[in-house]
Amino acid sequence: MNFLVDVQLPPILAIWLVEFFNVNVTAIRDLGVGDAEDIDIFNSARKPGRVIVSKDGNFVKLVTRLGTLSQILWLTCGNVTNRNLGLILSNTFAEALRMLEVGEAIVEIGD
């Protein structure tokens, strides 16, 4: 499983997920496509084992409309500090990962 962290999320999130959950993570901004349209990011991520991590509901709409080979980890926790985002994920990420591993297309994490 390879997580792609969307550009509106802090870049430190990618490092944090690697360090605390030992998962493969890439920040989309590090791929040089940070200013790409959501549909272009979505299409480039349409591969099995890819998970887009985003606060952007547009990715959820794209999955609903177009289907997907990738999955979405949808963060609906609003505007939170990096510290609070870390706390939220430390309490929820393991279960979200389990849901993704069994094939859930969209997994939502709120506060």
Share of the chain above pLDDT 70, in %: 97
Whether 38 is covered by a domain: the verdict is yes
| 7-21, 23-37, 87-101: least confidently modelled range | 23-37
Instruction: Provide mean pLDDT across the span 33-60.
Output: 83
User: Domain residues for 89?
Assistant: 2-52+64-109
Q: What is the pLDDT of residue 34?
A: 61
Whether 13 contacts 26, CB under 8 Å: no
In a domain, 35, yes or no: yes
1: nearest Cα among 27, 18, 23, 28: 23
> Could you tell me if residue 59 is inside a domain?
no
Residue 92 has pLDDT above 80, yes or no: yes
Q: What pTM value is reported for the model?
A: 0.89
pLDDT of residue 46: 78
Q: How many other CB atoms are found less than 10 A from the CB of residue 25?
A: 21
Q: Look at residue 18 in the predicted model and tell me its pLDDT.
A: 94
Q: How many domains does the chain have?
A: 1
pLDDT band at 33 (very low <50, low <70, confident <90, very high): low
